[in-house]
Amino acid sequence: MKNETPIAIIGAGIAGLTAANYLHKQNVPFVLYEAGKKIAGLAASFKDAEGFSYDFGAHFITNRLAAAIGVSSECLLVKHYGEAVYLGGKIYNYPFGLVKIPRMTWSGIKSKLKGNGHAPESAAEWFRRSYGAALADEVALPLIEAWSGAKATDLSAAVGESLPGSIGKTLYLKAASRVLGRAVAIGYNREMPEGANVHHVYPEKGVSTLCEKLAEGIADKIKLETPVEEIIVENERVVAVKAKGETTEVSAVVSTAPANILAKLVKGTNTLEKFKSFRYRPMIFVNLRFDGRGLLPDTVLWFPENEFPFFRLTEATLSMPWLAPEGKTIITVDIGCEKGDEFWEMDEDKLSALCLEHLTKIIPGAKEKFLGANVLRTPIAYPVFLNEYEAARKDFEQSTGIENLLSIGRNGEFAHIFMEDVYWRTRKKVRNLIENF
Amino acid sequence: MKSKPLKLTHVKCCVCQSDDATPVGVGEDYEYHTSADTFLAVQCAACGLVYLNPRPDISGFEWIYPPTYHAFDFSEKDFGIVYKIRARLEAKRLLSWCKDLPIDARILDVGCGDGFHLNLLKKYGKETWTLEGVDLDKRAVEMAEKLGLKVHLGTPETINLPKDSFDLAFMVQTIEHVEQPSEILAAIKNALKRGGKLIIVTDNTDSLDFRFFKGGYWGGYHFPRHWNLFNQNALARLAENVGFEVADLTTQVSPVNWVYSIHNALVDWHAPRFLINRFTLKSTVSLSAFTSLDILLQKLGKGALLRVILRKS
């Protein structure tokens, strides 16, 4: 590319930094705008004075991603990762433990025998057809509804279609995981193939290690505390960005902003208007610190029944023991909410007391073991695939509609993608952008 | 043994300078355990070259080639019957490459290691030939010199080889190790006489063993020491970029990548040591079995190694 006008990248999280790192290596001029005081975005890490670490956002990193970025030696092996489901007061290993419940197995077989008719019109239909009515109605759909805040009948079938893998492959990878003594990545990357030698690792100092590596050598091109206020489009091409009141001419924009916010930032065209209605699910993460380890039966415990205010608990130390001091642990409670609802407004003490109250039903003596808590609230945790804007979402999957405007990253793509997907997809998209210039 | 992390460098495809590449394999140094890193092999979308990216910086050279590295001391004492059989087969191959050479031919082995091939030529070739080697590692050069061979320390592009003076050069399982293949080829071309030949033997990524094990255990990856791995297309393009004429491009039998692919898988799956030891350069049974298999594959044009004969026109 001969053009000396820079490309503007919006957001210095893993996606924005991957784009910046790529452009830097290609000697393409760019400026990276970051609204916050420091880089890393959703991939930021915090460590408190007592030695507890908290990562905000994505936790799934593979050895392949670590190798690609060049941080594998700074990562530790994740020896185990597992999920379980709490159902009727009992705990079932996920997914194969649920096979022990005859009605679930039977309805699963029935749904397979029935075959396919027309294409499923909603997530509800997709899951009933793929998993059988019992597993869909008692486990999958309640979880999806709690997670998205929408009725499964209002959600697009694409929610299910993005779920991974065949049963045979999953069984093989699970067996490999057990024999090899490491958490083989099952369903946590979609861009690249799974295999017994692709497994989870985790940076000793938290996920921000990846961002710091990607940011090497480009510090002078990162503008911190500089939110982009407008993306100016003329004749259906981005020509400039406005930040801190100053307009800068740019050759393209690579944005990591949530799709609906991007649509609002763009001025001078109506092309992105239809993306303004995209919804993200706000989420509250309550990190509770406890004495002891192994308080949960596995790393993740799902709660499809609505007797709890949360739908998922995570004891990350069962996979990454170094995230808490020895003999102590953190349990993260995920509460789906809406901005301004009673949970969103609830103060930290009340939220942790509420969580603790419910946890005592699962962890005997939880209150006695409790050491403290902190709360993270995010208005944009997960994209919600509503059927009402499914056509627009499919368009957005292809492009923003403006040739020199890319939208990348988990929020930017409005897609259920994981960290490794973000890396490979971003590189591919940015390569295409500069090749097409 | 897990050791210190290496300084790593990100690179582009050395054949077409593209960086449009897809990950194909991920793995570790299953053989020598020289570093704590995990490595990634990617395949160029344009030419099919498989390359390590990121790869160790050249400053880590001595670290990734430990003193026990086999190319430094492939001796009869340590490798017994395998040494004898390999020596015989390799001597036959070498002599077939040399059959049209003049009486006063000058021959260069690039990446000569401990001088195994040059020593075979010294033993079985014509006494009137002048034999020279070049290797980057001083330990290898010392070993070769002990055999009375003339070996230059360095790389062809840094040691000022005389122009238009060699009749034949060969790189046997060397090109996959080097930092800048095209620069080395250009330097060799410069040193060859007009009509002189360069013969390259290297791992073949268009083989059945690659297809089976490319996810990470493939012996040809030899993590992290093999930096560029070729199929016929990529190798021919590299040679043509430098200005060589491709006189012949074919495959060659070798059991080594089969044996080491299984070795690496067994190491990773925590197999017992006695089983792992059945799949090394010292295991005659597995080497024989996979030689037989690769002979069959060779008949289908899918041998485990690539061999190209290049001519300076």
Res A205: pLDDT: 83
In A, minimum Cα distance to B52 occurs at A68
Q: What angle do CA A208, A210, A214 make, to 5 degrees?
A: 115
Q: What is the mean pLDDT of residues B297-305?
A: 94
pLDDT band of B1, cuts 50, 70, 90? very low
pLDDT band of A3, cuts 50, 70, 90? low
Q: Which residues on B lie below 8 Å from A431 (Cβ)?
A: 19-20
Asked if B23 lies within 8 A of A74 by C-beta distance, the reply is no
Q: What is the pLDDT of residues A125-143, one digit of tens each?
A: 999 988 888 999 999 999 9
Res B71: pLDDT: 61
pLDDT band of B2, cuts 50, 70, 90? very low
Q: What is the pLDDT of residues A50-84, one digit of tens each?
A: 888 877 655 789 999 999 999 999 999 999 999 99
Question: For residues B19 and B183, which has the higher predicted lDDT (pLDDT)?
Answer: B183
Q: What is the pLDDT of residues B37-92, one digit of tens each?
A: 999 999 999 999 999 999 999 888 888 988 888 665 566 777 677 778 888 889 99
A2, pLDDT greater than 60: no
Q: What is the pLDDT of residues A247-278, one digit of tens each?
A: 999 999 999 999 999 999 999 999 999 999 99
Res A5: pLDDT: 95
Q: What domains appear along chain A, each with residue ranges and CATH number?
A: 7-42+208-278+385-435 (3.50.50.60), 45-59+280-384 (3.90.660.20)
Q: Which residues of A touch B (CB under 8 A)?
A: 25-26, 63-64, 66-68, 70, 72-74, 179-181, 192-193, 195-198, 201, 424, 431
Q: What domains appear along chain B, each with residue ranges and CATH number?
A: 8-311 (3.40.50.150)
Asked if B215 lies within 8 A of A25 by C-beta distance, the reply is no
B152, pLDDT greater than 70: yes
Asked if B37 lies within 8 A of A72 by C-beta distance, the reply is yes
How far is it, in rounded angstroms, from Cα B205 to Cα B49? 8
Res A346: pLDDT: 96
- Minimum distance, in Å, between the CA of residue B214 and any CA atom of chain A: 11
Q: Which residues on B lie below 8 Å from A179 (Cβ)?
A: 269-270
In A, minimum Cα distance to B9 occurs at A70
Mean pLDDT across chain A: 91
* Percent of chain A scoring above 70 in pLDDT: 96
B126, pLDDT greater than 70: yes
Res A162: pLDDT: 63
A383, A282 Cβ separation under 8 angstroms: no
Asked if A73 lies within 8 A of B37 by C-beta distance, the reply is yes
What is the reported pTM?
0.91
pLDDT band of A1, cuts 50, 70, 90? very low
Res B66: pLDDT: 86
